[in-house]
Amino acid sequence: MLRTRIAVSVAAAAAGLAVLTACSGVETAQPVVAPAAAGGTGGGQAANNGQVGNAAPASNESKLVVADVADVGQVLTDQNGMTLYRFDKDTAKPPKSNCDGDCAKAWPPMLATGDVQVQGVDKNMVGKVTRSDGTEQITVGGWALYRYAKDTKPGDATGQGVGGAWYAANAKGGKAGQAAAAGSEAGGVKLSASKIDGLGEAITDQNGMTLYLFQKDTKKKASACNGDCAKTWPPVLSNGKVELQGIDSKLLGSIKRQDGSEQVTIGGWPVYTFSKDTKPGDANGQGVNGTWFVIEPAGCKLGSNPNTAAGQQQAPAADSGAGTSTSGSGGTTY
């Protein structure tokens, strides 16, 4: 069962109830239910008979590639196709690795060797952190990246969920796959009411990234954005808990996606980030194709709530680029 922590003032709660009625008469949403905890023991201690496994890459080139891995979904891989992981006991702000010694034998760090090449990854998300031995480790979204010694070939992801602290990393440094919902509270989802310059009130995630709704979705039931669409508009997945700030708890819910993962909903609308937003405050997805809109704290598309739309000029539709693709399954533009 989802454990929801609400950090919201009495005044904010009252305002939330008012805009709830004004928006679309949204009923009380069902609580988000997190999947069962992932299996696996050990927090990255001794490796398989002391072997370092894939610690040494076959190529001297450092490269990050987004790839599909069975039962996990889209993950980061290295230049040899090996799955890359992140460790909940590390920190991203500031970046710091807490895996040394025997831990680093089981989870070899991905060390930087010159310039890091990327494929399907935003170069601005890539960085480096200096380890305790003076070497430099590659980071994405501030999270240090590792291989797993027990992964023996490309496509393996046997480290997923190990010790409840190790998870395959996604293109933004977050946890990949449904099993990540069993992760520690440090990696939980936090949705906040924020102000976006030039737009007004909006919902942002724990990284400050603007969230969107898709008008072709079915409220409270299903997402119409899967496959390539979900690469352009990554869904916000429940990660064991959802913390709210400035958003009425009655608006919170979830739906099950085609891949079995749980997607967070606000006011019944599944919520997404946009791949072309590269930093907090970006809202490049507003109005894309006339179907994608920034979502307000009331669970409405931006500008549709009469309590906040008065005198507010809606931003013009963005040039979506990748957002004008056509999904292979339903022929739907997104």
For residues 17 and 61, membership in a common domain is answered with no
Residue pair 240/185 in contact by the 8 Å Cβ criterion = yes
**Residue pointed to by tokens 């060390």:** 111
Average model confidence (pLDDT) across the chain:
77
Domain that holds residue 270: 3-36+185-324
SS3 state of residue 163: helix
- pLDDT band at residue 51, thresholds of 50, 70 and 90? very low
Q: Is residue 230 part of a domain?
A: yes
For residues 90 and 114, membership in a common domain is answered with yes
- 149-152 contacts at long range (C-beta below 8 A, 24 or more positions apart): 149/47, 149/48, 149/51, 149/52, 149/53, 149/54, 149/55, 149/105, 149/106, 149/107, 149/108, 150/47, 150/48, 150/53, 150/106, 151/53, 151/54, 151/82, 151/83, 152/53, 152/54
Residue pair 324/232 in contact by the 8 Å Cβ criterion = no
**Residue pointed to by tokens 């946890």:** 175
Q: Are strands 269-270 and 262-266 parallel, antiparallel or unpaired?
A: antiparallel
Give the pair of three-digit tokens for residue 298: 């009331």
For 219-249, what is each residue's pLDDT tens digit? 999 999 998 898 889 999 886 689 999 999 9
For 81-117, what is each residue's pLDDT tens digit? 999 999 988 998 899 999 999 999 999 999 998 889 9
For residues 192 and 146, membership in a common domain is answered with no
Structure-model confidence comparison of residues 66 and 313, the more confident one: 66
For residues 165 and 229, membership in a common domain is answered with no
Q: Is the peptide bond before 94 cis (omega within 30 degrees of 0)?
A: yes
SS3 state of residue 118: strand
Boundary (domain end) residue, out of 179, 198, 232: 179
Q: Is residue 329 part of a domain?
A: no
Q: What is the pLDDT of residue 319?
A: 41
- In the chain, the number of structural domains is 2
For residues 29 and 60, membership in a common domain is answered with no
Q: Is residue 253 part of a domain?
A: yes
Q: What is the pLDDT of residue 289?
A: 95
For residues 22 and 84, membership in a common domain is answered with no
Give the pair of three-digit tokens for residue 83: 């799955």
**Residue pointed to by tokens 């190529």:** 59
For residues 143 and 189, membership in a common domain is answered with no
Backbone torsions φ then ψ of 208, nearest 5 degrees: 80, 10
Q: Rounded CA gap, 29 and 268, in Å?
A: 7
Q: Rounded CA gap, 149 and 139, in Å?
A: 19
What is the pTM (predicted TM-score) of this model?
A: 0.46
Using the predicted structure, report yes or no on whether residue 315 has a pLDDT greater than 80: no
Residue pair 78/60 in contact by the 8 Å Cβ criterion = no
Q: What is the pLDDT of residue 306?
A: 55
Boundary (domain end) residue, out of 114, 149, 179: 179
For residues 59 and 175, membership in a common domain is answered with yes
For residues 107 and 23, membership in a common domain is answered with no
Q: Is residue 334 part of a domain?
A: no
Cα angle, residue 121 at apex, residues 156 and 207 outer, rounded to 5°: 100
Q: Is residue 131 part of a domain?
A: yes
Q: Where in the chain does DSSP place strands (E)?
A: 3-6, 62-69, 73-77, 85-87, 91-92, 95-96, 116-119, 126-130, 136-140, 143-144, 166-168, 189-196, 200-204, 212-214, 241-245, 252-256, 262-266, 269-270, 292-294
Q: What is the pLDDT of residue 73?
A: 84
Q: How far apart are the first and last CA of the chain?
A: 33
Q: For 174-193, what is the mean pLDDT? A: 64
